[in-house]
Each structure stands twice: as C-alpha cells, then as structure tokens.
C-alpha cells in the first residue's frame, strides 16, 4: 500500500476546491473506464463546502454518478444530525441530480436494520457477487479523536471483517451509528480525507506520524490494498506535523 499523500492548503475553502478537482478528475476517469462513477460521501460538517461547490456544477454527468454514503447517524433524514440531510441541503436538492442515483442510509430504521438494509442496497448497486464493492472514490473526514466514517476508537465496528455495513452504539455521542466497514473502505480505488481546523491537528499528526494502534486511532486503519489515500488539510490542521510536512 502506497503511503498517504498530503496536500496542505491555506484554509478550509482551499481544501474544498482541491477536493472538487479530485472529484471531477475521478468522475471523468471512472466514467471513461467503466461507464459510471460511484462515490461514498463523507458526513460531518467539513465536506459541506465541497458539496456546495459540486452543487454549482450541473455540467457534471450526474446521470452516470452514484452518490452513496460512508456512514450515517441513526436518525431520520429530517434530523439536524443526519448526514443525508446535510448532503440534501448542500448538494442533492439540486434538480439536475437524479434522485434515483442517491443512495442514502436509512437512518430512521433501527441501526442494525439500517446497516443490513444498506448492505442490500450496495449489493444491488454493485451486483450481488461475493466480491467486495469497489468504490471509485470514498470521501472521509477525521474526527478530533482519530475516528473516521463511524469507526470510533475501541468500538465493535472496527473488528467487522465480513459485513459491508455495520452499526454500533457510540457511547461518547449517545448515538447509534451506521458505517461502511474497513474491508469496503480499503477496497476503494481512491480515498480522500478532508481535514480542516485547529481541533484536528492532534488527530492528523497521530494518523500521519504517530504509531498508535488502529483501535485507538481508527483512521490509521484506512490502508487500501490497491488504492490511494490523499489528505487535503488546511494549515491549521497540519500545524503539528513535522516541518517537512507542515506548512
């Protein structure tokens, strides 16, 4: 597995623009090679700026783009914490995005049921073969505790090696979460992390330069066997990296 690439940008706005260019390139390449572009969207707040930019690009071949999710909170899409709700606000409300190509996790279901339901959705989308689904691109964020998607430190989801999608309760959040598992994440062709803000500096340094166990820093478990990992970080998030890496 190739070491992660890091690009340090001036600010969160520049991170969003760098990620936009990657999405556009990846979409072009995937559609040229396989006729479709299948991407898993990140939740949280950082990616909203990217989704706002994407929502300005009606010229993208949206009919050939499958929008999936890397994880979801166990809430309905109308809930303030819903990732699907955030993506709807910033991107999928656009009329040029076919709704039949938006595959949200049904957070309104009981979490374990939502995970099983989403796995069936992905099996239908990718074909029900036993092979792992290979996303063209997976967008991820980084929590200030080193989590990514809904893979939280010392959580049962970290140990799932068979299911494509799993769920678990996250005590620190008093919330059930549904998430793609490491096998699916690490089958991706490309993974892009979007990281911005001072509060991510410790976690980013632990991911890129630390030696903690994956159980402690789950983002360290993102290591696609035949794919690439790129971090787009702003200067504030990169401020604790060694000089040759920090801004």
- Helices and strands counted in the chain (H then E): 6, 9
Distance CA 241, CA 231 (A): 13
Total residues at interface with ligand 6PG (CB under 6 A) = 15
Q: How far is the CB of 151 from ligand 6PG (least distance, A)?
A: 8
Query: Least separation, in Å, of the C-beta of 134 and ligand 6PG?
Result: 20
Q: Give the shortest CB-83-to-ligand 6PG separation in angstroms.
A: 5
Nearer to ligand 6PG, 45 or 124 (CB): 45
Residues 82-121 that bind ligand 6PG (CB under 6 A): 83
Q: What is the DSSP letter of 217?
A: S
In the bound state with ligand 6PG, the residue whose beta carbon lies nearer, of 127 and 195, is 195
Minimum separation from the CB atom of position 171 to ligand 6PG (A): 15
- Least gap, CB of 210 to ligand 6PG (angstroms): 18
98 vs 183 by CB, closer to ligand 6PG = 183
Closest approach of Cβ 129 to ligand 6PG, in Å? 27
Three-class SS string for 1-44? CCCCEEEEECCHHHHHHHHHHHHHHHHHHHHHHHCCEEEEECCC
**Closest distance to ligand 6PG from the beta carbon of 42 (Å):** 5
Restricted to residues 126-155, the positions that interact with ligand 6PG (CB under 6 A) are 141-143, 147-150
Residues 30 to 49: which contact ligand 6PG by CB under 6 A?
Answer: 42-46
- Give the number of other Cβ atoms within 10 Å of residue 235's Cβ: 16
Q: Which is nearer to ligand 6PG, 128 or 172 (CB)?
A: 172
Give me 11's structure tokens: 């600010």
Q: For residue 68, give the nearest of 121, 27, 18 by alpha carbon.
A: 121
Length of the chain as a residue count: 247
Interacting residues with ligand 6PG between 156 and 195 (CB under 6 A)? none
Decide whether 147 or 220 has the Cβ nearer to ligand 6PG.
147
Token digits for 221?
């478990």
The DSSP bridge pattern shows strands 71-73 and 228-234 to be: unpaired
- Residue with the shortest CB distance to ligand 6PG: 141
Instruction: Enumerate residues 6+ apart whose C-beta is below 8 A from 113.
Output: none
The residues near 181 (Cβ < 8 Å, ≥ 6 apart) are: 157, 160, 161, 163, 164, 165, 166
Residues that bind ligand 6PG (CB under 6 A): 42-46, 70-71, 83, 141-143, 147-150
């Amino acid at each position: 597995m190739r070491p992660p690439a890091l690009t340090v940008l001036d600010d969160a706005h520049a991170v969003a623009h760098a990620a936009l260019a990657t999405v556009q390139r990846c979409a072009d390449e995937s559609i040229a090679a396989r006729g479709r572009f299948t991407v898993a969207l990140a939740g949280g707040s950082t990616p909203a700026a990217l989704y706002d930019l994407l929502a300005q690009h009606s010229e993208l071949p949206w009919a050939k783009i499958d929008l999936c999710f890397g994880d979801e909170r166990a809430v309905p899409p109308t809930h303030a914490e819903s990732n699907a709700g955030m993506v709807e606000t910033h991107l999928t409300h656009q009329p040029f995005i076919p709704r039949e190509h938006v595959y949200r996790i049904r957070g309104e279901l009981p979490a374990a049921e939502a995970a099983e339901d989403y796995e069936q959705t992905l099996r239908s989308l990718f074909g029900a073969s036993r092979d792992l689904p290979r996303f063209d691109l997976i967008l991820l964020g980084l929590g200030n505790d080193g989590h990514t998607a809904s893979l939280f430190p010392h959580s049962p989801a970290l140990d799932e090696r068979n299911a494509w999608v799993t769920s678990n309760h996250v005590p620190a959040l008093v919330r059930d979460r549904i998430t793609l598992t490491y096998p699916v994440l690490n089958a991706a062709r490309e993974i892009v992390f979007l990281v911005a803000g001072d509060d991510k500096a410790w976690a980013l340094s632990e991911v890129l330069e630390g030696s903690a166990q994956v159980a402690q820093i789950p983002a360290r478990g993102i290591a696609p066997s035949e794919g690439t990992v790129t971090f787009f970080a702003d200067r504030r998030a990169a401020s604790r990296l060694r000089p040759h890496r920090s801004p």
